[in-house]
Chain A
Amino acid sequence: MKVIANIIKYIAIILLTCTIIGCVIINIVSSTVLKKDYILSKLEETNYYSKIQEEIESNFENYIGQSGLDENVVKNIVTIEQIKEDTNTIIENIYDGIEKTVDTTTIETNLHNNIKESLGNTQLTATQQKAIDEYVKTIIEQYKETMSHTNYETQINQMIKKVNKYVDLANKVVIIATAILVLLIIVFNYKNIIKAISNIGISLISSGAFYIILKIYIDSKIKISNIVIINESVSNTLKTILNEILSKINKNGIILAICGIILVILGNTIISLKKKKKESEE
């Protein structure tokens, strides 16, 4: 009977380890990639807006050679404020599913004005005017493409909504399961409640060690500093987010392991003191 009780107790410890791992991972995910404000703060922190402005202007310059226009026409047609506003629109589309479109009217007007200024009093034929309109359209498309990188904002939003729903559910399940398992461990140690402290400590050490090993494993398999996706600005922000998540994993791992060691030492100290006291009384 004692053997079966011990087996169940250790299964409960293993399950408790799993629920602690789950709790931490859910917490990390929901406080980072699933949070709109976190993403916006990272964009600000990594200078995303000014970098993307440089990138946009460089892309515009690529179209100058074929246009016959002066290269100044594409200068200063997009401000950082406009980029911030449009980025926020895209992020809101992704996280809140509001389906707003990027407003390019100001850029279009600025570009038309610059072209007009550059051409001076040149009388344009209908064909030339059409070619200019086509050129402006191409530049605007280029802007939208560099800004959004994806046409799947709605799909991503639906995916995020679904993930959020599952994360909420998983969070509740994991918290309830953790509470039940802690109770179960206490019940199985009813003769020596202090031993339950050591058992919970074991779970904390295991989950902490798991996170530390996970961080080492990811570091050894993926060179985050070399990640290149879409463009430099996006890559930089992504690298910062991933590094921060990894650092959170590591930090949580260390904290869990330290707490676990403290509980194990505390539990065993109390047990040992109790035994000594009992022996001396006898």
Chain B
Amino acid sequence: MSKFVKATIIDLIVALFIVAIIILGIKLSFGQKIEDMILLVNQVAVKVESKYEQKPIQIDTSKNKLESYPEYGTQYATIEIPKIDIKLPVYYGDTLEILKNGVGHSSGSYFPGEGGSIIYMGHNSKNVFRRFSELQKGNEIKVTTDYGEYTYKIYDMQLINETETEKLPIQDEKEILMVYTCYPFNNIGYATQRYVVYAELQK
């Protein structure tokens, strides 16, 4: 091997050795911090392609608890109020984006069949709950899910302010369905009041 080739190879090895030293130095000095930063970026900003498959939603009747929950933003039930000719899809979640498509299920509340407070909400538009004023005590609300049908009977109606969340209590002693919409029903602009219908489970 000529001296030229030998010297060039040695120089290249030295160069790579220097890179290794620098990388090692960085790893020893900031390795943990860099790893933490990458982890943080991945957790906060990188959307992982979901391999999650929605299992069929089933209820464990012995524990009154769903075995798997619907994915946020997906439809899992329909709500029917025969008195006002309403049959609408119910989505898990309560963002304005969801309410554009139908009725929303407050994510902090229980699901039908779980024996607690269920909170549904919808706009007061013509296609949704505009006719809520026609509802009376004793009227039925039917919720049909993939895992069963639940019928509720209205026992109370109340007008509340948007900030009065204590009027929509979350409890697990009795299955109560609370459905609310904005009030006045034919309002124009921003509504600060809510009309709530309370119904208890019949079957």
Contacts and interface: CB of A to CB of B under 8 A. Distances in A.
A134 to B, nearest CB: 4
A206 B182 CA distance: 67
A158 to B, nearest CB: 22
Contact of B96 (A63, A222, A268): A63
B135 interface: no
Interface stretch (A146-154, A160-168, A197-205): A197-205
B161 interface: no
B128 A228 contact: no
Interface stretch (A32-40, A45-53, A269-277): A269-277
A96 B170 CA distance: 49
A211 B55 CA distance: 45
A175 interface: no
Interface in A109-152: 119, 124, 128, 130-138
Contacts of B12: 205, 261, 264
A213 B19 contact: yes
Interface string B133-176: 00000000000000000000000000000000000000000000
Given A66-B124, A67-B190, A134-B190, A210 B23 contact: yes
A119 B188 contact: yes
Given A209-B16, A209-B19, A198 B7 contact: yes
Contacts of A247: none
Given A68-B189, A128-B187, A209-B16, A226 B47 contact: yes
Interface residues of B, number: 41
Contacts of B41: 222
A50 B97 CA distance: 20
Given A68-B186, A68-B188, A134-B190, A223 B46 contact: yes
Interface in B19-59: 19, 21-23, 38, 41-42, 44-49
Given A205-B12, A228-B47, A272-B7, A69 B19 contact: no
Contacts of A179: none
Main secondary structure of the interface of A (DSSP, over half): helix
Contact of A268 (B7, B19, B186, B188): B7
A57 interface: no
Given A65-B100, A65-B123, A202-B18, A264 B190 contact: no
A201 B188 contact: no
Given A265-B8, A272-B2, A206 B19 contact: yes
Contacts of A135: 188-190
Nearest to B48: A226
B21 A202 contact: no
A245 interface: no
Interface string B117-132: 0000001110010000
B49 A131 contact: no
A205 B49 CA distance: 38
A203 B21 CA distance: 13
B22 A61 contact: no
Nearest to B191: A66
B15 interface: yes
A157 B45 CA distance: 22
B123 A213 contact: no
A14 interface: yes
5 contacts: A68-B186, A202-B11, A221-B38, A226-B47, A227-B46
Interface of B: 2-4, 7-8, 11-12, 14-16, 18-19, 21-23, 38, 41-42, 44-49, 95-97, 99-100, 123-125, 128, 182, 186-192
Closest 8 CB pairs of A and B: A131-B189, A62-B96, A65-B123, A134-B190, A205-B15, A135-B189, A132-B189, A272-B4
Given A66-B124, A66-B125, A221-B42, 11 more contacts: A17-B22, A62-B97, A66-B191, A131-B189, A133-B189, A136-B189, A210-B22, A213-B19, A213-B23, A222-B41, A264-B8
